[in-house]
């Protein structure tokens, strides 16, 4: 008999929602090119536009302001550019400012030269240092062009909710533009583009139970836009050429619709499960360190260090116990290394950390299985001072 598996890596990718899966299967029969003017093409176009409305509604935006991409990484590379247009007038972003805990899709800087990028520090608790942001923007050389600031709304490793709305006030006071990575936020907390003060918002389908291969750049309006990254046939109003991945986009739209439903109730239940998980971990190992536990976090994430247990050792050990978790961002082709988030927080990243992330279909049995594995693994750690 095959032992049951327990999935605790929702921040890496969420299992596809049944409604999204059904939509994808149905969309496979819509084979026509959505740019074709015949009836078959118009039917696919109508399905894409329905998805555009669903994604826009998820973040309080206008459908016309949603540009579909192949994922969040492409959306980041599209918007992180020195070259913008305000209507027909060229507009230059002279420098990119990004927090030290950003996902590599942001931290690599898109189309900015490395010399035109500035990292903004975070506090020891993993929250962006707003005073440092203020000082950096006050010293910005406006002769270079406008400052472009990129911040994540929810950190993918710690789950900490960042003070983006307050950061936006600082950015606007200095005449800058704000890009918000909302990939880990949508479906877990209410996200409204206007409330955040964001000029651009980055989204991903597979993080919310949609299929891989779809994402979006959502803009505050249609006047201020980045220079296209992919040019060609002029799809997506010329902002992202290439025949749309209609099947993935349709699934993305349904996932967006499903994530709007019963958001508060769903995450209250998830939060109770996460709290029970962390309480059990503390009972089993009173030296466990739960990063960000004193800050506002999304309900589904627990990022912890178990002294004496290296990340790679722990990840393998949990996997052998039937528990799938990660050592942080799933963005390095399976590599397990030091967490740049822990480094930014001033922690000893050599200790390592593991991330348990859950979702709507996580069960009480899953939590008990994870705790049983945790107790077993914690109990066979090497004594302090010895390598795990």
Could you report the per-residue pLDDT of 253-309, keeping only the tens digit for each?
Answer: 999 999 999 999 999 999 999 999 999 999 999 999 999 999 999 999 999 999 989
Looking at the DSSP assignment, which residues form a beta bridge with residue 6?
323
Tens of pLDDT, residue by residue over 10-48, are 999 999 999 999 999 999 999 999 999 999 999 999 999
Cα separation values, 17 from 24, 35, 207, 354, 362, Å: 11, 28, 11, 25, 13
Per-residue pLDDT band for 382 (boundaries 50, 70, 90) equals low
pLDDT at residue 331, rounded to an integer = 52
Q: What is the pTM of this model?
A: 0.94
pLDDT digits (tens, 9 = 90+) for 52-107: 999 999 999 999 999 999 999 999 999 999 999 999 999 999 999 999 999 999 99
Residue bearing the bigger pLDDT, 386 or 36: 36
For the cut 70, the answer to whether the pLDDT of residue 384 exceeds it is no
pLDDT tier at 329, thresholds 50, 70, 90: low
Q: Which band of pLDDT confidence, cut at 50, 70 and 90, is reported for residue 385?
A: very low
pLDDT at 344: 94
**Ordered structural domains, the chain, with CATH:** 6-15+262-379 (3.90.1150.10), 20-260 (3.40.640.10)
Q: Which amino acids are annotated catalytic?
A: 331
């Amino acid at each position: 008999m095959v032992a049951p598996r327990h999935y605790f890596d929702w921040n890496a990718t969420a299992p596809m929602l049944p409604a999204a899966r059904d939509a994808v299967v149905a969309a496979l029969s819509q084979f026509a090119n959505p740019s074709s003017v015949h009836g078959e093409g118009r039917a696919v176009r109508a399905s894409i536009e329905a998805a555009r409305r669903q994604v826009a509604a998820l973040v309080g935006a206008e459908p016309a302001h949603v540009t579909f991409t192949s994922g969040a990484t492409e959306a980041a590379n599209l918007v992180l550019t020195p070259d913008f247009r305000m209507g027909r007038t060229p507009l230059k972003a002279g420098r990119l400012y990004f927090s030290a805990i950003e996902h590599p899709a942001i931290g690599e800087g898109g189309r900015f030269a490395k010399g035109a990028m500035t990292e903004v520090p975070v506090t020891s608790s993993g929250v962006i240092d707003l005073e440092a942001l203020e000082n950096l923007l006050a010293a910005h050389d406006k002769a270079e062009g406008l400052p472009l600031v990129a911040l994540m709304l929810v950190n993918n490793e710690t789950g900490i909710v960042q003070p983006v709305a307050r950061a936006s006030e600082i950015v606007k006071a200095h005449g800058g533009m704000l890009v918000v990575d909302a990939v880990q936020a949508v479906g877990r907390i209410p996200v409204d583009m206007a409330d955040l003060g964001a000029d651009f918002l980055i989204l991903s389908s597979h993080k919310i139970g949609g299929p891989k291969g779809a994402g979006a750049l959502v803009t505050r309006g249609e006047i201020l836009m980045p220079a296209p990254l992919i040019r060609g046939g002029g799809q997506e109003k010329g902002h992202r050429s290439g025949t749309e991945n209609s099947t993935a986009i349709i699934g993305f739209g349904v996932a967006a619709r499903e994530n709007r439903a019963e958001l508060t109730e769903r995450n209250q239940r998830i939060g109770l499960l996460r709290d029970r998980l962390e309480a059990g971990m503390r009972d089993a190992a009173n030296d466990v360190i739960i990063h960000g536990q004193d800050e506002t976090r999304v309900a589904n994430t627990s990022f912890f260090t178990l002294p004496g247990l290296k990340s790679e050792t722990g990840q393998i050990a949990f996997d052998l116990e039937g528990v799938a978790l990660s050592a942080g961002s799933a963005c390095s082709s399976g590599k397990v290394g030091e967490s740049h988030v822990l480094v930014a927080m001033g922690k000893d990243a050599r200790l390592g950390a593991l991330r348990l992330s859950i979702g709507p279909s996580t069960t009480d049995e899953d939590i008990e299985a994870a705790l049983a594995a945790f107790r077993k693994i914690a109990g066979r750690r090497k004594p302090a001072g010895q390598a795990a």
